[in-house]
Chain A
């Protein structure tokens, strides 16, 4: 009951925290798409580069987030951004690389060789092949990677409240430090709900972006 009354009493504040949370994850994953997709495409050209890049991305994802924040504080302090939203966004950007790069790489690599040959045979340039054939066919798998990244990093962003990034993690952090189960529960439940809502919205988006002819085949 107390939890409910806290919820109704602070509804606007919770909404604004959720909004900040969403915004931070969106910006970070958005940037991760801008870097990860081109990297994923580029490494299809070289098996050795692919092995190296995927290995590094796998190592990054094993670093605990709290440790990563700790590592970034001295580095980013040099530009006066040791704490706050900047390290949080950078961390999420780094964590998002593996699912996005790996899915892009796999999807482009798995384009039917016959289609690739047909695309070359009709006289498409490498860029035209990417734009007209390979990327459209890879969209569903790339989007699946983006969904993984978003859901995972909504959790990571909650922890970033400890370095002052803001977002729903603030409630959890306060709940712990003030031994206030109301804030703790509301923070945890909101983060979970946000992850579920984000996953479903991105699934909807994925279906919208998937070329129609591919949907018909499934």
Chain B
């Protein structure tokens, strides 16, 4: 847990003093990522850098797991906090192995232990140690360097990490990949992380909580869905964008919104049974499954009304299926693409789990507004 208690930074400049961070108080629960978000000059980076005293605080306290860090020696404090910066900052005179081992060496680990750790960490980010251990940073691509930057921060297994726009210098395609990799790692590692970003999409994707800063003040501190659904003021509403409701879609998976126990028919069932089912449940179509309960098609109500026979002879193919873990943004995108109002949802093995409908999605997204009203 990281606790900021009235943390304040006043810079004295020739043009008078500037309050870069004004009584920032917040708490990041253990194992969560908190994204500090805002336009440039809003104080988010200053706040981050006061935690490891790269910038000394003017007043206020930083507590890590309840312990006041002002009592700790600066060097010890930093060795126990992972630090990732946008410019990556790998030491060009050191090999990748030496870069990764910097903090373990400073902490006095044995050579055997830090060498083993470097191997583990390279494996973690899928860089082959046989190739990369003895290379120099200048021989790596930007994305590879940034991965090394992240594992260097993880080397001594700190409980707390500070990440200052860590993926800012990487091209958009690689950024997505590295973000996904990092989230996967974080699921296991459960670090407590302060993460600076100026990109609302990155914040929504990475953050368990988002703290929005403006002119040195903490404007709102909330979970991404809350923030997007209920921005506290016009500034925040503007910052998160007019399409903020659409951004909420990526926070929800299809599995959370689908109707469970879906209606289904098998290939061998007569068409009038399918029609009865649809009429009794007021459905426009019903999913056809094979013997393994995997969806293979659908029967439309208007077809069942005018034809006789079995479902085998009168079903249409499915334009696409949705997986439980897909986020709603991609679900909506596919619903629009195939011009469908519903689609069956399957689990990882392809078994039918439910159906997702456009109405179900709007209902889910709108729920929070109804309870507020």
Contacts and interface: CB of A to CB of B under 8 A. Distances in A.
B85 A121 contact: yes
B54 A117 contact: yes
B346 interface: no
Interface residue range, chain B: 20 to 34
Interface stretch (B8-16, B76-84, B248-256, B361-369): B76-84
B85 A214 contact: no
Given A121-B54, A124-B106, A216-B138, A115 B75 contact: no
Contacts of B88: 114, 118
B78 A122 contact: yes
Contacts of A128: 106
7 contacts: A114-B85, A121-B89, A213-B95, A213-B137, A214-B92, A214-B93, A217-B136
B93 A211 contact: yes
Given A121-B54, A216-B139, A211 B92 contact: yes
A206 to B, nearest CB: 15
Nearest to A210: B93
A123 interface: yes
Interface in B129-176: 136-139, 152, 162
Contacts of A137: 92-93
Contact of B93 (A117, A122, A123, A136): A136
Nearest to A116: B89
Contacts of A120: 54, 78
A112 B79 CA distance: 21
Contacts of B139: 216
B76 A123 contact: yes
A121 B138 contact: no
Given A114-B87, A133-B93, A136-B93, A122 B102 contact: yes
B92 A217 contact: yes
A115 B89 contact: yes
Contacts of A118: 83, 85, 87-91
Interface in B55-92: 75-80, 83, 85, 87-92
Contacts of B102: 122, 124, 132
B103 interface: yes
B91 A133 contact: yes
A118 B137 CA distance: 14
B46 interface: no
B85 A117 contact: yes
Contacts of A31: none
Nearest to A121: B83
B85 A213 contact: no
A187 B152 CA distance: 58
Contacts of B162: 121
